[in-house]
Structure 1
């Protein structure tokens, strides 16, 4: 989860700032399994400050 230099713990804090209540263990499990919905993905991107996703670079 070092993408954008954000730890799981920091992601929990940043999600809380936008009103998303998640536990670090839940986030770690979701991301390691790769099973989460698009809403959670968008919440994470918002929380870490991503404003644009360039699909050509994926």
Structure 2
């Protein structure tokens, strides 16, 4: 079984890939999250993604904000 850090890296890489695929910057993600009622700072998002430490709820909110309807794992 993979260590926790492996799963964190996979989650972060998955979210980063979707942002890249949609052409969304961290700054734009902040704006899109605000549109759905989530207040985040760009620095906080950058830190969460670089560490891979964020909740499933945060990931789902980001995916919703950038209009991702399906993922391939």
Q: Which runs of 4+ in 1 moved over 2 A?
A: none
Larger RCO, structures 1/2 (Cα 8 Å, 6+ apart): 2
Runs of 5+ in structure 1 lacking a partner? Answer: none
Length-normalised TM-score, structure 2: 0.70
> How do residues 21-36 of structure 1 correspond to structure 2 at under 5 angstroms?
21-36=39-54
Determine which structure has more spread, i.e. the larger CA radius of gyration.
2
Runs of 5+ in structure 2 lacking a partner? Answer: 1-15
CA root-mean-square deviation: 1.1
Length-normalised TM-score, structure 1: 0.87
